[in-house]
Chains A and B, each alone.
Chain A
Amino acid sequence: MTEGRHVFINCPFDRAYRPLLRALLFAIYDCGFRARSALEVEDSGEVRVQKIIRIIGESPLGIHDISRVELDPSSNLPRFNMPLELGLFMGARAYGGADQQAKRALILDSDPYRYQKFCSDIAGQDIQAHGNKPYVAVELVRNWLSTPPTVIPSGSVIAKRYRTFRSTLTEGCAKLQLNPRRLTFSDEVTLVVGWLQENPWAPQP
């Protein structure tokens, strides 16, 4: 059974990707949705792929970033986790019940048409390029989540709010005794939600 405003995030969690992940999380929560990820609960007792399948089943929306499929310098092999999870999401939509068939996906890549070289089967889908720029990712997520009759502030407004959040993050982390370079997924979510609750957007008089 899917939950109305849950967004499954399928993206890498390495340090290099952290700025984009933070931007995606901020945009999702600022638009009034909730981010779901395999990292949301640390439970060694649950098999990882089962956890991913459960979260995909519960999420009617999914953001899949397939921009990090480069060869790993140590093993010389590409990372296939993101395309695999995208496949699971598309499979749920193809073979699931009515609520699963209503799933919507946003597929992101760093450059337009690059995916055709390594994942040509998804050619024909509407894939967006963020160019590895967090503010572009914020706008793409906002535009995708904004469906009538809901009115969400423009991407540029959310990007401006994200910039303000970023400027307070280092100070906030210092006060909370958190290392900003070693935040877990739940730390990131707590900080984003905490900031948004203190700085809600309101229509200008």
Chain B
Amino acid sequence: MGSVRLITTPVLATMESFRFRKFAGKRACYRDRMATVRKVLTPLREGDNVTLAQARAVFREIRIERERAAEEKKAARKKAAAKRK
């Protein structure tokens, strides 16, 4: 599999659920969902059409990363202020 660029949070959650769930009598469902995962994991090449879902997933990832970074920065600032006291 090529470079993995489009693993989104819901997809990761789906993959995690595969690992820990029992699939007795749910093979078709498992296959369908794995096909979706494979489709999302296929790397895009320049010039490929980007779907709205892919664009949303990427912007969601960026938003979550930025929010996390802002929170970490805030916590670090708080820690530094507490240290000064």
Contact = CB atoms under 8 A, between A and B. Distances in A.
Interface of A: 168, 171-172, 175-179, 186-187, 190-191, 193-195, 197-199
For B48, B49, B58, the residue with the greatest tally of chain A CB atoms inside 10 Å of its CB is B58
B68 to A, nearest CB: 14
Contact of A177 (B5, B60, B66): B5
B59 A168 contact: yes
Given A172-B62, A178-B50, A190-B55, 14 more contacts: A168-B62, A172-B55, A176-B58, A177-B43, A178-B46, A186-B49, A190-B51, A190-B52, A191-B50, A191-B55, A194-B55, A194-B58, A197-B56, A199-B63
Given A168-B62, A177-B48, A195 B43 contact: no
A41 to B, nearest CB: 13
Contacts of A168: 59, 62-63, 66
A171 B62 contact: yes
Contact of B52 (A171, A175, A178, A194): A194
A171 B48 CA distance: 17
Interface in B16-72: 43-46, 48-52, 54-56, 58-63, 66
B44 to A, nearest CB: 4
B6 interface: yes
13 contacts: A168-B62, A175-B5, A176-B50, A176-B55, A177-B43, A178-B46, A187-B50, A191-B50, A193-B52, A194-B56, A195-B55, A198-B59, A199-B59
